[in-house]
Amino acid sequence: MNVKPLTVVTVLAAIVGALAPVALSAYLAREEATRTEKDRALFYALDVLERSEAVTDQIDIGIKRLVASHESNPCSASSQALMKEIDLSSSYIQAIGHIAANRILCSSLGAELDGQDLGPVDMVRPSGVRLWLNVRFPFAKDVGFLAVERDGFVAIVHKNLPIDTTTHIKGAALATIAYPEARVITGSGHIESKWIQAVAREPKAFIDEKYVVAVAAPRKYFIGAICALPIAELDRRIYANSLVTIPAGLLASLLLAWAIFQIAQARTAMPAVIKCALKRREFFLEYQPLVELSTGKWMGAEALIRWRRMKGEVVKPDVFIPVAEESGLIQQVSQYVVDEVAAEAGELFRRFPDFHIGINLAAADLHDDGTVLMLRKLVEQTGAHPSCIVIEATERSFTDHNRASDVIARLRSEGFPVAIDDFGTGYSSLSYLERIKFNYLKIDKSFVDTLNTDAPTSEVILHIISMAKSLNIEMIAEGVETEQQAQFLRERGVQYAQGWLYGRPMPLSRLLHTLQAHDASSEARDESNRRIHQ
C-alpha cells in the first residue's frame, strides 16, 4: 500500500489533536479535586488552630485573674469563689484550681479534685507554662484531660477540645503542635514527624503519599495545627469530577475529530471538485478596471476568475487557486480563463483596440512552452493585438528563474507585455529582475494600505517606486481605495492604479457598457470643443 508520509503525519496529528480535550479534562478533574481537597485540609487545620487559641485565651485570662486577685492564700474563700466563677463563665475550661508540687490543693470543682496528684510534668514551654498532656481522674476514668499550669494555678480542659472539629472523614488526623519543641500536644489519628517539621510562616498544604496534609503555622501562642486527610478522599473527588469533565472532554474530542475529518476530507476532495467544476463550466470571469492616474481614463482591466457552485455558494479564488496550483490543475484553470476571454472579449477588442486585458498566469504556465501557443490562439480568436493581452505573473512563479525566463522572453518577443504581480510579497531574491525584463510592476495592495498610516512598513512603497523607476518599469498600484492614496501615488510618479476607488470587478457586459458611455461623453466633449474653436 502506498501511504504518503504526509498523510500518516496528518492522521497522527488529528488523533493527538482530537485526544487533547480528553487529556485536558482528566487533568482538570485532578487539578480541581486536588485544589478542593487541599483547601478542605487547610480549613480544618486553621479551625483546630483557632480552637486551641481560643482555649489558650480562656486559660490565660482565668489564671491572670486568679494571680491578680489572691493575696497570701491562693485557696482563700474569695479565691475559690473566683475559681467557680471563671469555670462557669468559660466555655472551654472544665476546672481551674491551685497547685503545688504537682498536687491540686483546691479548685472550682471543690472536694472532688482536692489532693489530686497530676504526676510528672510532660512538657515545660519556653514561657514557663507546664503541661500534662493526658491526665486521668478517678471520677472520669475514660476521659483524658489536658492540664496547663502557670504561677501556681492550673486549668483543666478536655483533651480533645481543640481538635473537636467535625470532619466526619474516616482516617483523618488532626493535631495541635507545640513549637519550637515540635511536639504533639493533642492529636487524633496518624501524624508523621516530617509533617511537624514542615511548618512554615504561612499555612500550606501538600500531598504526601497517602495523605493530603495541611499545616497551620503558629500565630499567637507557639501552637500550630495539622490536618491530614487520607488520599482516598482525593481519589473519590477526582472520580466524581471525572464523571462530569471526561464526558464533556469526550464530546469535545469527538467534535474536534469530526471537524478535523471534515477539513481533511474537504481538502483532499477539493481537486476532484475543481476538476468537475471545470467540466461543468461553473467558473466565470469578472473584469476590474485599471486607470491612468493622471487622467482617470480606463486603460484596461484584469480578468479575475469566479466560482459559483451548483448550490449557489461562491468560493473565493484565494481558496481554490492555491489548491489548483498544488494539485496540478492550475494550467487547466488558465486555459479555462483564456477560453472565456476568447469567447466574450471579441467585441471589446473590436470597439476598443487599445484596451488591455490582464490575465493571471501561474508558475506551471510559465514553465510550459504551450502557454505561448495558448495565447497566440487567443489573439487569433479575438483579433486583439498581442500588446493588449497583459500577462500577470506573481513573484512566486520565478522560483525556477531559467525556465520562467525562457517562456517570458518568448511571450515578450511575440509582443505580449508582462507584469510582475503582488510585487514585494514573494520573499524571493530580486535577482530575477536583472534576468527577466518586465513591462509593468504591480505594487501589492498591502503596501498601498500602509499609505498615510504609521505602519513601520509604510516606507517600503517608496523604495519599490524608486526601484521601478531605476529599472524603467511602469507601475500599477493595486487596491487603491481612497483619493488620498491616489493623490500620493500620482505625486510619486506611479502611472496606473486599480482598486475600488475606480471600480470593482464586474461582468464584461458592464465593462463594455461603461466604456461606451465614457466614449460617447468624450466624443461629445470633442465635438463641442471643435465647434467652439471653429
Q: Which is nearer to Ca ion, 441 or 508 (CB)?
A: 441
Q: In terms of Cα–Cα distance, which of 212, 210, 180, 209 is closest to 197?
A: 180
- Interface residue with ligand C2E among 86, 133, 362, 461 (CB under 6 A) is 362
State the minimum distance, in angstroms, from the CB of residue 533 to ligand C2E.
39
Residue 304 sits in the site that holds ligand C2E (CB under 6 A) = yes
Which span (44-52, 76-84, 149-157, 476-484) binds ligand C2E, by CB under 6 A?
476-484
Q: CA 366 to CA 372: how far, in whole Å?
A: 9
Q: Which one of ligand C2E, Ca ion, none interacts with residue 424, CB within 5 to 8 A by kind?
A: none
Question: For residues 457 and 448, what is the distance between their CA atoms, to the nearest angstrom?
Answer: 10
**515 belongs to the binding site for ligand C2E (CB under 6 A):** no
Q: Are 375 and 411 in contact (CB under 8 A)?
A: yes
The residue within the footprint of ligand C2E, chosen from 500, 510, 516, 517 (CB under 6 A), is 500
Nearer CB in complex with ligand C2E: 288/382: 288
One character per residue 312-351, x = contact with Ca ion (rule: CB under 5 A)? ----------------------------------------
Residues that bind Ca ion (rule: CB under 5 A) add up to a total of 5
**Per-residue interface string for the shown chain with Ca ion, residues 449-488, x marking contact by CB under 5 A:** -----------------------------x----------
State the minimum distance, in angstroms, from the CB of residue 477 to Ca ion.
10
Instruction: Report if residue 233 touches Ca ion, rule: CB under 5 A.
Output: no
Taking the complex as a whole, the smallest distance from the CB of residue 480 to ligand C2E amounts, in Å, to 6
Q: Which residue in the set 167, 360, 371, 397 belongs to the binding site for Ca ion (CB under 5 A)?
A: 360
Q: Given the rule CB under 6 A, which of 29-37, 221-229, 233-241, 497-505 is the region that contacts ligand C2E?
A: 497-505
Size of the site for ligand C2E (CB under 6 A): 20
Binding segment (CB under 6 A) for ligand C2E, from list 87-95, 183-191, 409-417, 496-504: 496-504
If one asks whether residue 288 binds ligand C2E (CB under 6 A), the answer comes out as: yes
Query: Beta partners for 137?
Result: 140
**Which residue of 205, 225, 305, 464 would you call a contact of ligand C2E, by CB under 6 A?**
305
Name which of 220, 213, 227, 110 is nearest 165 in CA terms: 227
Helix axes 5-69, 231-280, angle to 10 degrees: 150
Report yes or no: 321 and 337 within 8 Å, Cβ to Cβ. no
DSSP-based three-state secondary structure for 207: strand
Strand order of the sheet with strand 123-124? 103-107, 93-100, 153-158, 140-150, 130-137, 123-124
CB of 446 to Ca ion, least distance (A): 10
Residue 479's binding partner out of Ca ion, ligand C2E, none, with CB under 5 to 8 Å set by partner kind: ligand C2E
Q: Determine, following the binding rule CB under 5 A, whether residue 53 of this chain makes contact with Ca ion.
A: no
Among the listed residues 421, 423, 477, 497, the single contact to Ca ion using CB under 5 A: 421
Phi, psi torsion values for 471, nearest 5 degrees: -90, -5
Binding positions for ligand C2E, 324-343, rule CB under 6 A: 337
Stretch that binds ligand C2E, among 32-40, 370-378, 426-434, 494-502 (CB under 6 A): 494-502
| Strand ranges inside 356-510, DSSP E | 356-361, 389-394, 418-423, 440-443, 474-477, 496-498
Q: Are 307 and 314 in contact (CB under 8 A)?
A: yes
From the list Ca ion, ligand C2E, none, pick the one residue 505 interacts with, judged by a Cβ distance below 5 to 8 Å according to partner type.
ligand C2E
Distance, CA of 274 to chain centre: 35
Nearer to Ca ion, 84 or 445 (CB): 445
CB 309 within 8 A of CB 365: no
Check binding of 300 to ligand C2E (CB under 6 A): no
Name which of 24 and 501 has its Cβ closer to ligand C2E: 501
Identify the H or E element spanning 77: helix 77-89
Burial of 323 (0-12, 13-18, 19+ CB in 10 A): middle
Question: CB of residue 330 vs ligand C2E: minimum separation in angstroms?
Answer: 6
Instruction: Tell me 458's DSSP state.
Output: G
**Beta bridge mates, 475:** 441
Phi and psi at residue 533, in whole multiples of 5°?
-85, -10
CA–CA gap between residue 247 and residue 108 (Å, rounded): 63
CB atoms within 10 A of CB 44: 24
- List the grid coordinates of 174: 488532626
Please answer whether residues 396 and 428 qualify as being in contact, where contact means their C-beta atoms are separated by less than 8 angstroms.
Answer: yes
Residues lying near ligand C2E in the complex (CB under 6 A) are found at 288, 304-305, 316-318, 321, 337, 360, 362, 421-422, 445, 478-479, 481, 498-500, 505
Chain residues in the site for Ca ion (CB under 5 A)? 360, 392, 421-422, 478
